[in-house]
């Protein structure tokens, strides 16, 4: 598998990002070469999962992989529910924060080898992480390879109908040029995401408190459910520690 031109090192080396996560607050922006700024919601990311987050997590099935987990609020919430969950992020500060919040996380790019490939039940791409790598179709193909047949992807999309690619830097001030090399990013609304989702089955889309989400299923087995409605019962495991999870759990496969 060939990876798209993802510059994980550029994001990980962006000192303003690590500093903001450690402080739990911004300001923090993605900055395009033309000076346009996208504010990043550091305070919300560093807090505990809110009601909208919890509603998304209610829809998750089985084992969950949070791609670009950031400071780990979703991983920590699922872990507190007794769910088998792993976060991955290229930022050491993000991984450290996730672990401090009580979740499991690895410092890894989604395009690198990962535990449990082809066996995850749910993959999350929250907080605009459908933009990772700047190539939505390549990212969707990669996620399909991480999921079991019929597995569920839940993605948070832009609140407007947009399909944009750019090279960006992370900056901590509106007048800053940023550190490290620019890296590719994308912004997608739900219509654009659905256009790229060839070979996927639509499983729902919704809006909550101004945030937009879409659920997709990978090429499914005949036993897979057709919707991403919140399950009536949530699967619970006894421990999140890798040594205590079952041999069939992707979280235990290091």
- Go through the domains of the chain in sequence order and give each one's CATH number: 49-164+185-218 (3.40.50.150)
Evaluate whether 152 touches 217 at the Cβ level (below 8 Å).
yes
Is the model's pLDDT at 133 over the cut of 60?
A: yes
Find how far residue 161's CA is from the centre of its chain.
Answer: 20
Q: Mean per-residue pLDDT for 68-84?
A: 98
Q: How far apart are the C-alpha atoms of 89 and 163, rounded to whole Å?
A: 24
Is the model's pLDDT at 215 over the cut of 60?
A: yes
Q: pTM above 0.95?
A: no
Is the model's pLDDT at 7 over the cut of 50?
A: no
pLDDT at 145: 97
Q: Mean per-residue pLDDT for 144-150?
A: 97
Is the model's pLDDT at 132 over the cut of 70?
A: yes
pLDDT class of 178 with cuts at 50, 70, 90? low
pLDDT at 230: 55
Please choose, from the candidates 147, 196, 212, the residue with its C-alpha nearest in 3D space to the C-alpha of residue 204: 212
Q: Mean per-residue pLDDT for 230-234?
A: 42
Q: Within 13 Å of residue 214, how many CA atoms lie on the same side as its CB?
A: 22
Evaluate whether 170 touches 16 at the Cβ level (below 8 Å).
yes
Q: For a pLDDT cut of 70, what percent of the chain falls above it?
A: 80
pLDDT at 233: 34
Q: How far apart are the C-alpha atoms of 37 and 172, rounded to whole Å?
A: 11
Q: How far apart are the C-alpha atoms of 215 and 15, rounded to whole Å?
A: 33
Q: Mean per-residue pLDDT for 78-100?
A: 97
Q: How far apart are the C-alpha atoms of 123 and 61, rounded to whole Å?
A: 9
Is the model's pLDDT at 14 over the cut of 90?
A: no
Q: How far apart are the C-alpha atoms of 242 and 43, rounded to whole Å?
A: 30
Q: Mean per-residue pLDDT for 234-254?
A: 35
Q: How far apart are the C-alpha atoms of 119 and 235, rounded to whole Å?
A: 16
Burial, 99: exposed, middle or buried (Cβ in 10 Å; 0-12, 13-18, 19+)?
Answer: middle
Is the model's pLDDT at 240 over the cut of 60?
A: no
Q: Which run of H or of E encompasses 202?
A: strand 201-208
């Amino acid at each position: 598998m060939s990876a798209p031109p993802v510059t994980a090192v550029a994001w990980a080396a962006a000192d303003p990002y690590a500093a903001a996560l450690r402080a739990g607050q911004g300001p923090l922006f993605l900055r395009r070469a033309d000076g346009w700024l996208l504010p990043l919601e550091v305070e919300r990311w560093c807090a505990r999962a809110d009601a909208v987050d919890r509603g998304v997590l209610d829809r998750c099935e089985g084992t969950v992989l949070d791609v670009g987990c950031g400071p780990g609020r979703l991983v920590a919430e699922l872990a507190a529910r007794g769910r088998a969950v792993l976060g991955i992020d290229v930022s050491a500060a993000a991984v450290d924060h996730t672990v401090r919040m009580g979740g499991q996380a690895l410092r890894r790019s989604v395009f690198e080898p990962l535990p449990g490939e082809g066996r995850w039940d749910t993959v999350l791409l929250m907080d605009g992480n459908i933009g990772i790598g700047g190539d939505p179709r390549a990212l969707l193909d990669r996620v399909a390879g991480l999921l079991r047949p019929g597995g569920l992807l839940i993605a948070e999309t832009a609140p407007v109908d947009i399909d944009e690619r750019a090279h960006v830097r992370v900056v901590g001030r509106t007048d800053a040029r940023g550190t490290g090399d620019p890296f590719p990013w994308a912004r997608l609304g739900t219509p654009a995401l659905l256009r790229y989702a060839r070979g996927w089955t639509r499983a729902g889309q919704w809006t909550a408190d101004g945030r937009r989400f879409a659920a997709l299923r990978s090429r499914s087995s005949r036993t897979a459910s057709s919707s991403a409605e919140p399950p009536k019962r949530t699967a619970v495991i006894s421990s999140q520690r890798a040594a205590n999870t079952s041999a069939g759990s992707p979280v235990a496969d290091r």
